[in-house]
Chain A
């Protein structure tokens, strides 16, 4: 069974640009959540989607947005990139959100560098 797949693996962008990251959850998983990981702050929750609806949102500015498609695949978008957006962006999937958090599976992440 394939794991959570995130693409691309690495991205280099310049300030002011926008970026779209993709996440394909484990087959059958309907919930996708996104986290930002930086050395100083650790993992911080961005948002969570279930059945194409955003269920939860973290404390990030509106430049960070996401969506989920009918096949449960998810994308997140960051507009007007800032240097501080450089981070590892992790996607995690689960069968049904909150029902069994023991089975929250993470992808390997997209490493975003903003120059």
Chain B
């Protein structure tokens, strides 16, 4: 059974204080690993897809990396508007359609 574990559950940063969020996964052949951002009262918003170990993707202050067992979401010099819950999800090779297995997320709060 596919499993995704995210840590920490919650993280409080000062504005400008860089940090990383972790996503550990167990899957029978990885088809893709996804990062989403979710704001209160809204649905998840797509950030990145990573497909193979060693791959990296960047968007503004966010950078996602992937190894064979985990993924990191690095946040460089965060701003208060980066406060949100960050969700990691995997899709297994051989899985059809859009079925994703999600972690429970990391709640990030950035103080000004």
Interface residues, chain A, with chain B CB atoms under 8 Å away: 4, 31, 33, 35, 40-45, 48, 50, 55-56, 58, 90, 92, 94, 97-98, 101-109
Contact = CB atoms under 8 A, between A and B. Distances in A.
A109 B43 contact: yes
Given A101-B91, A108-B41, A45 B49 contact: no
Given A101-B49, A107-B43, A108-B42, A94 B99 contact: no
A106 B97 CA distance: 15
B87 A55 contact: no
A104 B98 CA distance: 8
Contacts of A107: 43
Contacts, number: 70
Given A90-B44, A106-B45, A55 B104 contact: no
B25 to A, nearest CB: 13
Given A101-B91, A102-B46, A42 B97 contact: no
Given A31-B98, A55-B96, 20 more contacts: A33-B97, A42-B87, A42-B104, A43-B100, A44-B102, A45-B99, A50-B97, A56-B98, A56-B99, A94-B98, A97-B96, A97-B97, A97-B98, A98-B97, A101-B34, A101-B49, A106-B36, A106-B44, A106-B45, A108-B43
